[in-house]
C-alpha cells in the first residue's frame, strides 16, 4: 500500500498547525463520544426499569453485551466483580481508569481544547470547561443517592449539543472546522455501529424472545440510544421490526446518526482536508472511505444480513473507520502524535 506522506496543497492559503488540527479533531471526537455514552447508559438504565421482571442473570447479560460491544469487557473485569447496573454505570461514567468513561472523555476533550484555546471561540471553551467542572464535583455515589442518573446524563448530552451548536454558530468555516466535523462524524459512525451491535450481543444467548415484548422494548432501546425512535416512526409508520431498525440505522440517507449519513459527511470533510477532489482519491484514506461509502450506497439490509451477517458487517465498518482515522493522522501530521511524556511535562513546569 502506498502512502502519500505530503498532503496536496490547498487552494486557499490557510495556516493551521498540525498539532492544532489534531487537537481539534480529538476534542470533537471526545465530546461526541461522551454524548453517545450518556445516551447509551441512560436508555439502558431506563430499559431495565421498564422490566422489573429481569433476573440478575438477564441483567448481567444485558450489561455484558454493552461491555462487549464497546470492547471494554476485560478492563471492566479487572476492576469490578459483577456486571450490575451500578458497577457498569460507574465504569462508563466516572471511572478514570476507563479511558472511555464519560469523565475520561470530557477530561480529554478539555485537555485538547486547552491546547487550542487560542483557536476556538470563548463560548466553545466555556461549555467544555463547565462540563468538566460539573463532572469534577460529582461522584457516582451522589448520583445514586440523589435518586437516579437521568439528570446527570441529560446534562452531559445537553452540554454536547450546546457545544456542537456553538461550534456551528461561532466557529469559522476554516480548515479547523473540517477537522472538527470530520472527527464528530467519524466518532458518531463508530458509535452507531456499536449501538446496533449491542442488540446483536443481547440476541445471541437466547433468540427465543424474538418479537416478544422484551424484544420490541430492546429494539426500541437501540433506536433511542441513537436518538432515532421518532425519526424511525415517521419514516416507516409501522411497528418496530429488527431488520427495519438495522436498515434505518445503517442505510438512512437523511437521518443524521445513520452510518450512511455519517460516512457521507466523513467522505466530504476528508476530501476537503486532503484537498482530494478527483473521482479516484489519491490517498489511502480517501480510497478506504470511498469503498465504505460505496458499500453503504449499494448494499441492502438483506445483503448485509444474508451475505455478511450484521455483526461481521459492523466489525468491517469499524475497521474501515479506524483505517481512515489513522491515515488522516499520518498524512496531516508530520511527526508522531504522542501525548506529552513525563519529562516533557516536568520541563514545562520548570519554566
Partner 1 sequence: MLPSPTALTIFNSNYEPGNFFAEMAVPGPRVRPHYKRLASRLDTLSVGDFEQRRAAVDLAFLRRGVTFTVYHDDAGTERIFPFDLIPRVIPNQEWTRIEAGLIQRITALNLFLDDIYHGQKCLKDKIVPPALVLGAKHFRREFMNCKVPRGIYVHICGTDLIRDISGNYLVLEDNLRCPSGASYMIENRTAMRRAFPGLFQSYGVRPVEAYANELLKALLHIAPARSEKPNVVLLTPGVYNSAYFEHCFLARQMGIPIVEGRDLVVRDAHVFMRTTAGLEPVDVIYRRIDDDFLDPLVFRADSMLGVPGLVNAYRSGHVALANSIGTGIADDKVIYAYVPKLIKYFLGEDAILPNVNTYLPSEPLDRKFVLENIEKLVVKAANEAGGYGMLIGPAASKAECAKFRELVAAQPRNYIAQDPINLSRSPTWCDGRLEGRHIDLRPYILYGEKITVTPGGLTRVALRKGSLVVNSSQGGGSKDTWVLQGDE
Site for partner 1, rule CB under 8 A: 6-7, 9-10, 14-21, 111, 114-115, 117-118, 122, 125-126, 129-130, 133, 175, 273, 332-335, 340-341, 343-345, 347-351
Cβ(160)–Cβ(34) under 8 Å? yes
156 versus 328: smaller Cβ distance to partner 1: 328
Tell me the closest approach of the beta carbon of residue 29 to partner 1, in angstroms.
Answer: 17
Give the span between the Cα atoms of 188 and 207, in whole angstroms.
28
Nearest C-alpha neighbor of 37 from the set 152, 181, 125:
152
- C-alpha 280/C-alpha 287 separation (Å) is 7
* Shortest Å, Cβ 177 to partner 1: 13
Cβ–Cβ under 8 Å, residues 283 and 254: no
d(C-alpha 283, C-alpha 254), whole Å: 28
For partner 1, the closer CB: 156 or 195: 156
Tell me the closest approach of the beta carbon of residue 346 to partner 1, in angstroms.
8
Separation of alpha carbons 53 and 56, rounded Å:
10
Q: Which CB sits closer to partner 1, 61 or 111?
A: 111
Q: Which residue has the cell 479547523?
A: 176
Smallest gap from residue 337 Cβ to partner 1 (A): 10
> ∠ CA(218), CA(219), CA(224), 5° rounding?
95
Report CA torsion sign: 318, 319, 320, 324. positive
In terms of CB distance, is 244 or 272 closer to partner 1? 272
Cβ–Cβ < 8 Å for 254, 261: yes
For partner 1, which is the closer residue by CB, 72 or 178?
A: 178
Cα distance between residue 76 and residue 89, in whole Å: 11
With CA atoms as reference, report the closest residue to 149 among 38, 37, 16: 38
Q: From the CB of 18, what's the least distance to partner 1, in Å? A: 5
126 versus 230: smaller Cβ distance to partner 1 = 126
For residues 254 and 341, which CB has a smaller minimum distance to partner 1 in the complex? 341
Residue 329 and residue 22 in contact, taking contact as beta carbons nearer than 8 Å? yes
Q: Which is nearer to partner 1, 178 or 197 (CB)?
A: 178
Q: Are 303 and 171 in contact (CB under 8 A)?
A: no
In the complex, what is the shortest distance from the CB of residue 332 to partner 1, in angstroms, rounded to a whole number? Answer: 5
CB of 127 to partner 1, least distance (A): 10
Rg over CA atoms, the chain: 21
Conformation bin of residue 121: beta by default, left when phi > 0, alpha when psi is -120 to 50: beta
Report how far residue 182's alpha carbon sits from residue 173's, in angstroms, rounded to the nearest whole number. Answer: 13
Residue nearer to partner 1 on the CB measure, 166 or 301? 166
- Residue 347 Cβ, how far from partner 1 at the closest point, in Å? 5
Q: Which of 33, 41, 24, 149 is nearest to 99 (CA)?
A: 33
CB of 271 to partner 1, least distance (A): 14
Amino acid at each position: 500500500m502506498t502512502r502519500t506522506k505530503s498532503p496536496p496543497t490547498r487552494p486557499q492559503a490557510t495556516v493551521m498547525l498540525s498539532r492544532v488540527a489534531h487537537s481539534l479533531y480529538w476534542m470533537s471526537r471526545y465530546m461526541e463520544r461522551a454524548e453517545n455514552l450518556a445516551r447509551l447508559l441512560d436508555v439502558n438504565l431506563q430499559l431495565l426499569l421498564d422490566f422489573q421482571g429481569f433476573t440478575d442473570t438477564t441483567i448481567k447479560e444485558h450489561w455484558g453485551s454493552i461491555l462487549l460491544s464497546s470492547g471494554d469487557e476485560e478492563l471492566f473485569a479487572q476492576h469490578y466483580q459483577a456486571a450490575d447496573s451500578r458497577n457498569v454505570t460507574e465504569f462508563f461514567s466516572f471511572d478514570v481508569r476507563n479511558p472511555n468513561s464519560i469523565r475520561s472523555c470530557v477530561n480529554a476533550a478539555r485537555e485538547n481544547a486547552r491546547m487550542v484555546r487560542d483557536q476556538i471561540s470563548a463560548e466553545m471553551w466555556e461549555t467544555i470547561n463547565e462540563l468538566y467542572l460539573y463532572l469534577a464535583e460529582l461522584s457516582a455515589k451522589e448520583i445514586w443517592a440523589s435518586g437516579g442518573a437521568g439528570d446527570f446524563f441529560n446534562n452531559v448530552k445537553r452540554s454536547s449539543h450546546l457545544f456542537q451548536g456553538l461550534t456551528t454558530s461561532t466557529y469559522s468555516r476554516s480548515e479547523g472546522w473540517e477537522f472538527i466535523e470530520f472527527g464528530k462524524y467519524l466518532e458518531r459512525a463508530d458509535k452507531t455501529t456499536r449501538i446496533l451491535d449491542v442488540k446483536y450481543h443481547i440476541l445471541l444467548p437466547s433468540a427465543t424472545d424474538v418479537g416478544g415484548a422484551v424484544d420490541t422494548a430492546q429494539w426500541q432501546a437501540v433506536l433511542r440510544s441513537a436518538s432515532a425512535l421518532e425519526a424511525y416512526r415517521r419514516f416507516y409508520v409501522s411497528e418496530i421490526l429488527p431488520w427495519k431498525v438495522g436498515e434505518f440505522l445503517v442505510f438512512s440517507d437523511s437521518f443524521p446518526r445513520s452510518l450512511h449519513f455519517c460516512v457521507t459527511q466523513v467522505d466530504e470533510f476528508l476530501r476537503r482536508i486532503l484537498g482530494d477532489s478527483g473521482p479516484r482519491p489519491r490517498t489511502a484514506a480517501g480510497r478506504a472511505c470511498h469503498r465504505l461509502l460505496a458499500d453503504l450506497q449499494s448494499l441492502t439490509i438483506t445483503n448485509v444480513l444474508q451475505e455478511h451477517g450484521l455483526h461481521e458487517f459492523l466489525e468491517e465498518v469499524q475497521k474501515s473507520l479506524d483505517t481512515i482515522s489513522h491515515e488522516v493522522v499520518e498524512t496531516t501530521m508530520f511527526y508522531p502524535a504522542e501525548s506529552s511524556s513525563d519529562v516533557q511535562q516536568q520541563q514545562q513546569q520548570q519554566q
